[in-house]
Amino acid sequence: MKKHIPNFLTTLNLASGLVSITLVMQGNLVWAAIFIFIATVFDYLDGTAARLLKAFSELGKQLDSLADLVSFGVAPGLIIYQLLSDHCINGCNILERWHVIPYFALLIPVCSALRLAKFNIDLRQTENFIGLPTPANAIFFASIPLIIQTQTRLYTFIQLDFLVAFFSIPRVLAVLSVFFSYLLVSEFKLFSLKFKSLEWKGNEHRYIFLILSLALLVVFSVNAIPMTIVAYLLLSLIYQKKI
């Protein structure tokens, strides 16, 4: 029975991604984003359960990749596609008027599929990552509708109203889609949050990231989510030799 627990959690990840896609089709981007975050929780739990129960299987490995593609590839890609479509209605340049720019968002699921396929056969990624993990990429893009549509209703110590204007620019979203899609399939090394021990030595970058992320979330609330992903990238760059 216990060997099925990780796979059950993986299916909940998949179900969350499907709900997110359905909500995008209904135009509810905030809840679509929230279900991506729910999917990340199940994605973390299925891996943890597999390690604790020693319930690894080839079926679980493939199912996990398929679920991640839906929840962390297709769902965030459709969210950005919808945001770009909405912004292009009154577009001021030819790419916006011809509805070309929204299709840049489809790079997200395409490169996520390549990233996941590469991860399954790449023996170098047992301890750290090569290329941006799909959940981190999805978290970054899922935070955008939350920032745009809930900014005025959130309590934060410091307001960052400029983020709403920044993420509302179609060309910015298109460039971010291309840049993060490149990171997914790049050879850029990033650290994982797997702790072999709780000692500071050898885990400095992990502790710094967790402390910094918590501080940012406390001060900036949902605005801090894309900041934490940027911090993750910068810390990975700083600690390249250790990784």
Residue 111 lies in a domain: yes
Question: Would you say residue 123 has pLDDT above 80?
Answer: no
Residue 146 lies in a domain: yes
Count of the separate structural domains present in the chain: 1
pLDDT of residue 201: 81
Residue 208 lies in a domain: yes
Residue span of the structural domain in which 119 resides: 2-238
> Would you call 118 helix, strand, or coil by DSSP?
helix
Instruction: Quick: pLDDT tens for 56-109.
Output: 788 878 899 999 999 999 999 999 999 998 877 666 565 666 678 899 999 999
pLDDT of residue 93: 63
Which of 36-40, 81-85, 119-123, 228-232 has the lowest average pLDDT? 119-123
Residue 144 lies in a domain: yes
Q: Is the model more confident about 232 or about 157?
A: 232
Residue 97 lies in a domain: yes
Quick one: average pLDDT of 26-53?
Answer: 91
157 confidence band (pLDDT: 50, 70, 90): low
Which of 22-26, 97-101, 190-194 has the lowest average pLDDT? 97-101
d(CA 139, CA 20): 13
b/e map 212-240, b = 16+ CB within 10 Å: bbeebbeebbbbbbbbbbebbbebbeebe
- How far, CA to CA in Å, does 150 sit from each of 97, 109, 221? 27, 25, 11
> The whole model's pTM is what?
0.90
pLDDT of residue 34: 96
Residue 243 lies in a domain: no
Which of 63-67, 129-133, 159-163, 204-208 has the lowest average pLDDT? 159-163
Question: What are the backbone dihedrals phi and psi of residue 16, each rounded to the nearest 5 degrees, phi first?
Answer: -65, -40
Indicate which CATH number applies to the domain containing 218.
Answer: 1.20.120
Query: Which helix (H) or strand (E) segment is 45 a member of?
Result: helix 29-53
Quick one: average pLDDT of 138-162?
Answer: 78
Residues facing 130 on adjacent strands? 189
Residue 145 lies in a domain: yes
Quick one: average pLDDT of 124-150?
Answer: 90
